[in-house]
């Protein structure tokens, strides 16, 4: 399964900062949850209270 370039860049940043594997998994889970919760809408098209 191919990952999005965005998710890969996040993963690269987390690994560069040498966070633990479990922290990486948790951060990626919440990022994916946020994206899917907002129906894969880009943050620049959402209102301020949705992004906050």
For 9-50, the pLDDT digits (tens) are 999 999 999 999 999 999 999 988 988 887 777 767 777 666
CB atoms within 10 A of CB 32: 13
Taking the alpha carbons at both ends of the chain, their separation in whole angstroms is 30
pTM over 0.85: no
Residues 19-27: contacts with CB under 8 Å, at least 24 apart: none
pLDDT given at position 26: 95
What number of helices (H) and strands (E) belong to the chain? 3, 0
Q: Of the candidates 42, 44, 30, 23, which has an alpha carbon nearest to the alpha carbon of residue 13?
A: 23
């Amino acid at each position: 399964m191919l990952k999005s370039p965005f998710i890969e860049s996040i993963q690269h940043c987390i690994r560069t900062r040498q966070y633990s594997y479990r922290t990486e998994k948790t951060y990626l889970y919440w990022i994916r949850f946020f994206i899917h919760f907002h129906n894969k809408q880009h943050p620049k098209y959402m209102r301020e209270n949705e992004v906050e």
